[in-house]
Structure 1
Amino acid sequence: RDGLNIEGPTTSDGWRPTTVEVMVMFPAWYFDWYADENSVTVEIYEGPSPTGQAYRLNRRVRKSELSWSALRLPADADWSSNDREQIAAWMTFDFSDQIPPGSFDRSELFVAVGWDSLGFPNVGYSNFELPCAANWTDYGDGSWRQNTGADCSWPMMRISYERIVPEECD
């Protein structure tokens, strides 16, 4: 599992994350044989680290439910094992039924993504150019470790927020 400390909106009236999209990928040579057997889990924690209550969603990666497209990774993609040709899709995790409106009051959240131990699907990553201080990894033993150094890969995620805005009436 990999996770990120992410800056959220700042509002005294509350907010919540509603959806997280994760880029999932398979090597092009494997995609036609993939039989919908793997899952991805997304966890959200209020605050800057993976402590406290986690909101958690697990979804099976079903090819027919996603919009797939070809993706060619750069030659220096560290983990690709020379599988530069990938088939990728954004997978949506909707937390709006789980996280109450306005329930977050801190300006940071921690979002983690986990996948099956066999390594599929791959998860899209930045290519080692982002600061490590906001990046955490669980190597499978259940213990999160905050990464160190200047250049880390971050899981590729898109996060949607909902802010509470008080009505202003005259």
Structure 2
Amino acid sequence: MTDPRIPTPDPADESSLTDLPKTQEPRLWRGDGWTAKVIKNEDDDGWAVAMIKDGEPEPALVGPWTMGRDKKNPKPLDVNAFNTLVKTASEFVRRHEQQLHATLHQRITVTANAARVTVSLDIVPDEEHPHALLSAHDETGELLAEVKAAPSFKLNRASAVAWAENGFGKPAER
């Protein structure tokens, strides 16, 4: 559900993201790269607030919103509430990005063939040809090997040691 009052910027045009006008209405605030929109909660009689990062098509965070004194309409947004919502939504996005990075880029150091080896797995989540790059570096950081692997390859201590002790060949598909 899009609100015609909220212009949809072109994500490819970064200048359009900074050109959005600052808005401070009771149910719609925009500033600091974010839009807070108070919406009717479809599941019950209450209200929710959606936090949308400029240039993104979907809300980054949707949460409950407080009822006003009349117990029918939502409490209006204000500067303190908006700042708190921006901080919360920004932290949520940051944690999500960190989790995604940790999932796509793994690293483990093992001892194999009497040497310390750091094995890295970097998943490339391409829609048409997803794959992973499995690489090994010695203690000085010199590249020992790099091979393409299935994106489903599980990097753990045992798989890293086995790969190194077997001469860094292409790991078997599972």
Place the TM-score, normalised by the shorter chain, in its bin: under 0.3
Larger helix percent = 2
- Report the TM-score when normalising by structure 1: 0.24
Bigger Rg over Cα? 2
- Larger strand percent: 1
Higher relative contact order (CA 8 A, sep 6+): 1
- The TM-score normalised by the length of structure 2 is 0.24
